[in-house]
Structure 1
Amino acid sequence: MIREMLRGSLVTTILAFVVALVVGGVLIAATSEEVRASLGYFLARPADTFVAIWDAVGGAYEALFRGAIYNTNADTFAAGIRSLTNSIGYSAPLIAAGLGVALAFRVGMFNIGAQGQIIFGAAFAALITFPMGLGWPTQMVMTMLGAIVGGAVWAGIVGVLKALTGAHEVILTIMLNYVAVYLVTWMVSTPGVLQKTGSNQPISDPTPEAALFPNLLGPQFPALDWGFVFVLLAAGFVYWLLERSNLGMRMRAVGENPHAARAAGIDVKRIYIYAMLFAGGLAGLAAAQQIQGAVTSGFTSTIDAGFGFDAITVALLGRSRAFGTVAAGLLFGALKAGSYSMQAAEGIPVDIVLVVQAVVVLFVAAPPLVRTIFFLPKSEQEIQAKKRAQQAKKAVAR
């Protein structure tokens, strides 16, 4: 049982995160002025160097914990737990966009266009639903649906082009990212389209108050709103769609082998379109988190805030599974929230957290490397692959 547990992806992912923290600690120590100063007289007093390393790394990760989980310096429990609510709030758009990327991955498609889908989803919602002037909660629901529809339309273009022409989705999504950025830049810079009334700056009107997500736990926790609840519902829907529905079975079949799926009577082209529509809709839900929660004073063509590309990392870390993506999004949300505390309290560059994220993905994408570092037993897939390689080698020798 222990051997099977050590072979599992959960252990590999946890150890990948541990390695990333170690690498991050090395970088923190290397960038610390106190550590570099103590190295100048290392042979005379080596203990000073180790103390400086401990202070730099320990202080940085303590600040990361205070900013991401619980602020131990806070006077009240509510003030201390605000760090956790900030992490959860930051994770909402990451999870939504990550679910869109993960769903496309399960169908064998590389959706690199979450950035464009988020940007266009926000613009579509602002263009169509902001002028409605409805009351809450109707305005809130309509704005969220507008963002979802906008993201689905933008991704649906990719699905249709791939189905009709066979064009590769990576090229299509990357190019449509640029189209979305410059299209929305024009929209928020043009009076009468999306530019803020009475302003010459490239920014939209603020989100109507009736369209905002209400706070989930009260005004003392402004970063956590009802948008996170909708994201969790979306995760449950993605799980049901992929793991329990007839359409999900066909999607997974296409992702495993489109040629075999086509031979079995599955309309592969239609599945590609469905997959991109769902993926874009989920990216549009991420846009809704941005314009209905975090951003209330208007938005620009940078409304995605990098979440579009971070979603790829989240989907990979979550193994393209619905609840795995939720867990990965929460982890990255915590790192994002904690990075600000690290920078403010210890002067650690936010880039260090980005390095930790990159190393996590690097090791998660290479499980054999993690197993080699920690002397873990090989997975069943690796054993079978080795046997096939040996059999092929013997066949060639004959």
Structure 2
Amino acid sequence: MSPTDPRTDEPEVMARLRELLRRILSGSGLLSVFAVLLALLAGGVLIAATDPAVQQAATYFFGRPGDFFVAVGNAVGGAYGALFQGSIVNFRQSDPLLALKPLTDTLTFATPLIAAGLGVALAFRVGLFNIGAQGQMLIAAGFAGWVGSTMQLPWGVHLVLALAAGLVGGALWAGIAGGLKARTGAHEVIVTIMLNYVAFYLLSWTLRTPGLLQAAGSSNPKTAPMESTAVLPLILGDRYNLHAGFPVVIGATALVWWLFNRSALGFKFRAVGENPHAARTAGIGVGRVTIQVMLIAGLLTGLAGAIQVLGTVPTGFTARIDAGIGFEAITVALLGRSRPWGVFAAGVLFGAFKAGGFAMQAAEGVPVEIILVIQSLVVLFIAAPPLVRMIFRLPDPIRKVQSLDRTGPRQLEVS
């Protein structure tokens, strides 16, 4: 074998390294990382612009410009430092175990985000836009909350039954959209958005109706607390909020990865997602796949709703139990490129934003809405890959095509 590459006259190892580097730089994973960095930079500009010390230093910028840049550094550094300490490690805590409590808070916030993000991402991979995660979570919360607050069952059995009820509720609600899409061609975006409203007002009605979800003897639209036998147990003790829902979503992530990459059903999903017309020609029932995908997506978003009820707020809930997670799940799915472990990482990142955002507001006085702006900017940059590639001078994805010239077949690289 020749020690050099005849096309480039470079050593074979160097040619492979260059090809590997090009694939990394043009890959979607690195693009997501840079999108987050750009969002953080833009968020830093907003933090500096809203800081009183920066505003004061700006009034005499031309006289003492150094004061302005010091104020900007203090504002942005202090805010993001508080964000880190509120979401990863609190260096001010003398107890090393309690110093890691912010990380457990991050994972707690991330748990329902990951589950709902998986439900949205699964539909995205098959070419369906599941914008109904909010409604699916609300119906799942109603099902799980009714089982968890009204039934008297042994520990273990009660928890499993409440979780199963949430899964069934989410699957049924998503199945409505899937069935309408498969049987009538109704657009799933419109159907799922409208079902969000139906779910919200339906849950609100049950919370105001005695004998359904409203707590007995109460006039408030809120359920009774969940029975202790139906609450997700804390896995690190009472000093931490992390509950058993987190290992459950790890298992769900692994299961979705296996479904897509190792199962025959996943092969059908990928085929329909790539080209539904070709899949239909190959004998795959596209309508049946549509219903199956929406049912599984509903199971995952239903898991998020059940976790909210049984783990995050077991003291009872209102119609706002979804806490915006249904729409944030769309961002998580986009940032994770609709890949199971990518969604998992994106969910942890957004969980860190949630946990650290409150600390940033308390310690530095930065409006917590800045975190929402950063999340929105992440979506903006994810939706504009050419802009991110232009800013960081990343190469475009390379594909090889066959071309014929006078000397015969030749491999051409085109962007």
TM-score by length of 1: 0.94
Cα shift at 1:129: 5.2
C-alpha separation in 1, matches of 2:150 and 2:198: 25
| Alignment map for 1:105-254 (pairs within 5 Å) | 105-128=124-147, 130-222=149-241, 224-254=242-272
2:15 — aligned with what? Answer: none
Q: For structure 2, which runs of at least 5 residues remain unmatched after alignment?
A: 1-19, 402-415
2:324 — aligned with what? Answer: 306
1:374 — aligned with what? Answer: 392
| Alignment map for 1:49-128 (pairs within 5 Å) | 49-128=68-147
C-alpha separation in 2, matches of 1:134 and 1:37: 62
Cα shift at 1:233: 0.6
RMSD of the alignment, in Å? 1.1
Contact 2:136–2:298 (CA under 8 A) maintained in structure 1: yes
Contact 1:130–1:143 (CA under 8 A) maintained in structure 2: no
C-alpha separation in 2, matches of 1:26 and 1:108: 36
State the secondary structure of the residue aligned to 1:145.
helix
Cα shift at 1:149: 0.6
1:391 — aligned with what? Answer: none
Render the CA deviation track for 1:215-243: whole Å, top value 9, x for unaligned.
Answer: 11111112x11111111111111111111
2:21 — aligned with what? Answer: 2
Contact 2:148–2:230 (CA under 8 A) maintained in structure 1: no
C-alpha separation in 1, matches of 2:239 and 2:148: 29
C-alpha separation in 2, matches of 1:29 and 1:364: 24
C-alpha separation in 2, matches of 1:182 and 1:85: 33
State the secondary structure of the residue aligned to 1:218.
coil
Q: For structure 1, which runs of at least 5 residues remain unmatched after alignment?
A: 385-398
Is 2:368 the counterpart of 1:350? Answer: yes
Would you tell me which structure has more helix in proportion to its own residues? 1
Contact 2:120–2:297 (CA under 8 A) maintained in structure 1: yes
Contact 1:112–1:170 (CA under 8 A) maintained in structure 2: yes
2:348 pairs with one of 312, 320, 330: 330
State the secondary structure of the residue aligned to 1:202.
coil
1:272 pairs with one of 290, 305, 308: 290
Number of residues paired by the alignment? Answer: 382
C-alpha separation in 1, matches of 2:314 and 2:24: 46
C-alpha separation in 1, matches of 2:140 and 2:103: 28
C-alpha separation in 2, matches of 1:203 and 1:132: 17
TM-score by length of 2: 0.90
C-alpha separation in 1, matches of 2:172 and 2:224: 23
C-alpha separation in 1, matches of 2:121 and 2:72: 39
Structure with higher Rg: it is 2
